[in-house]
């Protein structure tokens, strides 16, 4: 009986991204502050260790200060899910994880997290994600949708800095 329960719990996960499973860079896009005149530069690649590497330099020149990478996909029903799990390694800097239930929304639901330089398992309760637009909270409350079709990572720490974030896997539970 215990084996069946564990098997059911394992099958209840949705893996959004798993670079060990040969995920590609298809549908991943880097968006830098250059869209608004800034000078920051971010890029992505897949490492030999099967991770997405998001790295670059943040510049505050010309009112800049951010770099992001987003992944768009067909809508996924997440009706019975309440938690995101990120498996990643950062550089000790703060980042933001964002998602959109609809890619046409002008806002995202965001969650800030700090990396520690080691491999981390970061758990994010979906109902703790707040609606944001251009770095400001907006009055839409917490995430409470039953679908998503975009996820992204953003760095915007209001300082000139180099950054590097390795992403191995992203799951929903």
- For the chain, domains (ranges, CATH) are 14-172 (2.60.120.430)
pTM: 0.90
pLDDT of residue 12: 81
| Nearest in space to 127 (alpha carbons), one of 149, 114, 102, 146 | 146
Q: Tell me the mean pLDDT in the region 99-124.
A: 97
Q: Which residues pair with 124 in a beta bridge?
A: 84
* Model pLDDT for residues 38-51, shown as the tens digit of each residue: 999 999 999 999 99
As a whole-number percent, the residues of the chain with pLDDT over 70 amount to 94
Residue 166 pLDDT greater than 60, yes or no:
yes
The residue behind tokens 């080691």 is 118
Between CA 27 and CA 47 the distance in angstroms is: 17
Q: What does 99-124 look like in DSSP terms, one character per residue?
A: EESSTT-S-EEEEEEE--SSEEEEEE
Residue 153 pLDDT greater than 90, yes or no:
yes
Residue 8 pLDDT greater than 70, yes or no:
no
Q: How confident is the model at residue 6 (pLDDT cuts 50, 70, 90)?
A: very low
pLDDT of residue 5: 38
Lowest mean pLDDT: which of 16-30, 67-81, 143-157? Answer: 16-30
pLDDT of residue 164: 98
3-class SS string, 3-67: HHHHHHHHHCCEEEEEHHHCCCCCCEEEEEHHHHCCCCEEEEEECCCCCEEEEEEECCHHHCCCE
């Amino acid at each position: 009986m215990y084996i069946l329960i564990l098997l059911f719990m394992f099958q209840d996960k949705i893996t959004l991204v798993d670079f060990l499973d040969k995920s590609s860079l298809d549908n991943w896009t880097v968006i830098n502050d250059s869209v608004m005149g800034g000078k920051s530069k971010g890029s992505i690649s897949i490492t030999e260790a099967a991770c997405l590497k998001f790295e670059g330099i943040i510049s505050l020149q010309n009112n800049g200060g951010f770099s992001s990478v987003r992944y768009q996909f067909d809508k996924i029903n997440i009706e019975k899910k309440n938690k995101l799990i990120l498996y990643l390694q950062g550089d000790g800097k703060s980042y933001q994880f964002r998602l959109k239930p609809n890619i046409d929304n002008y806002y995202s639901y965001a969650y800030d997290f700090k990396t520690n330089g080691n491999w981390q398992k970061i758990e994010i309760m979906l109902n703790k994600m707040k609606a944001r637009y251009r770095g400001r909270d907006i009055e839409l409350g917490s995430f409470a949708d039953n679908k998503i079709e975009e996820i992204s990572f953003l760095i915007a720490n209001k300082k000139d800095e180099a950054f590097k974030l390795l992403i191995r896997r992203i799951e929903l539970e």
